[in-house]
Amino acid sequence: MLLLHFKFFVLCFKFNFGRNNFSFRRIKYLKFIEMDATLVLDFLNQLKTNNNREWFQENKKWYEAAKKEIETFVTAMITSISAIDPALQTPAMKDCMFRIFRDVRFGADKSPYKTNFGAFIARGGRKSNFPGYYFHFEPGQCMLAAGVYQPQPDTLKLLRDEVYFHAPELKEILAKPSFKKHFDSLGDFDKMKKAPKDYPADFPDIDLLKYRSYIVSANMEDKEIVSGNYDTLALGLVRELQPFMAFLNRAISNG
């Protein structure tokens, strides 16, 4: 059973600006989560070995218990991340979760179920073009990723324009030691071989314009997921991601 522990920290900052005596107070509410990640990973391990409808139906209650753990974790994460990143605008949990059922109509692999749980927490949910946070739970392949995944052409153009005009800023964000400690460089899984035609060929950072997605990721070990402190670890990474996410949000919001 997933237990939620609510600990509220009030951070108040007061600034005085000369004779105006202007005061600004900021309050953050952080929700701390304890997840039975062992139950989740054990279920997924068995599903990988028994990826068929008969086994799944026989273990439906186990699946529902694992799914409930993830859904409650994601719900709490949405609240906590929204306190750190207001651009998130608190999306609904159901709009962020990916279904476990695979579309087997066109692929050679006819396995009916995914062997992972995933959620993309973003303004507007998993189908959004806005930057978001992707939580992936899969034995031996857990990760936390963030950014914009394969956006529509008009959104991609906005992102590339932002990179074109502010490349040094993005490079500084990606090169920050505390950022590099946790996150890989931009994912190049769908990177173009040639630069897009809308920009000068002699642009010194032309390589940054070849990306179709602007994503960074941090691989997580299973022991970190089941440690009981994954919420704290994840929220720490979310805070480290804020300059990167602000850059992407600015690009799309200015469009």
Non-local (6+) Cβ contacts of 136 within 8 A are 116, 117, 118, 142, 143, 144, 145
35 compared with 54, residue with greater pLDDT: 54
Of 36, 74, 33, the C-alpha closest to 226 is 36
Kindly state the helix (H) or strand (E) to which residue 72 belongs, with its residue range.
helix 60-84
What is the per-residue DSSP string for 148-208?
E-S--HHHHHHHHHHHHHSHHHHHHHHH-HHHHTT--S---TT--SS--TTS-TT-TTGGG
Cα–Cα distance for residue pair 67/61, rounded to 1 Å: 10
Mean pLDDT score, 139-147: 98
At the top level of CATH, the class of 36-253 is alpha beta
Cα–Cα distance for residue pair 123/120, rounded to 1 Å: 10
pLDDT at 165 over 70: yes
The predicted structure's pLDDT at residue 18: 35
Which pair of structure tokens corresponds to residue 220? 């997580």
pLDDT 10s digits, 176-226: 999 999 998 999 999 999 999 999 989 999 999 999 999 999 999 999 999
Cα–Cα distance for residue pair 4/183, rounded to 1 Å: 28
Q: Could you tell me the pTM of the whole model?
A: 0.86
Catalogue the long-range contacts made by 82-85 (C-beta closer than 8 Å, 24 or more residues apart).
83/28, 83/29, 83/30, 84/28, 84/235, 84/238, 84/239, 84/242, 85/238, 85/242, 85/245
Contact 238, 121 (CB under 8 A): no
Cα–Cα distance for residue pair 131/214, rounded to 1 Å: 9
Cα–Cα distance for residue pair 138/142, rounded to 1 Å: 5
Angle at 125 between CA 140 and CA 65, to 5 degrees: 50
- Burial string for 73-104 (b: 16+ CB within 10 Å, else e) reads bbbbbbbbbbbebebbeebebebbbeebeeee
Q: What are phi and psi of 38, to 5 degrees?
A: -65, -40
Of 103-107, 142-146, 162-166, which gets the smallest average pLDDT? Answer: 103-107
pLDDT interval class at 236 (50, 70, 90):
very high
pLDDT 10s digits, 45-101: 999 999 999 999 999 999 999 999 999 999 999 999 999 999 999 999 999 999 999
The predicted structure's pLDDT at residue 255: 65
Of 95, 92, 33, 42, the C-alpha closest to 65 is 42
pLDDT at 14 over 70: no
% pLDDT > 70, the chain: 87
pLDDT at 12 over 90: no
The predicted structure's pLDDT at residue 4: 40
pLDDT interval class at 17 (50, 70, 90):
very low
The predicted structure's pLDDT at residue 25: 32
% pLDDT > 90, the chain: 80
Mean pLDDT, the chain, whole residue set: 88
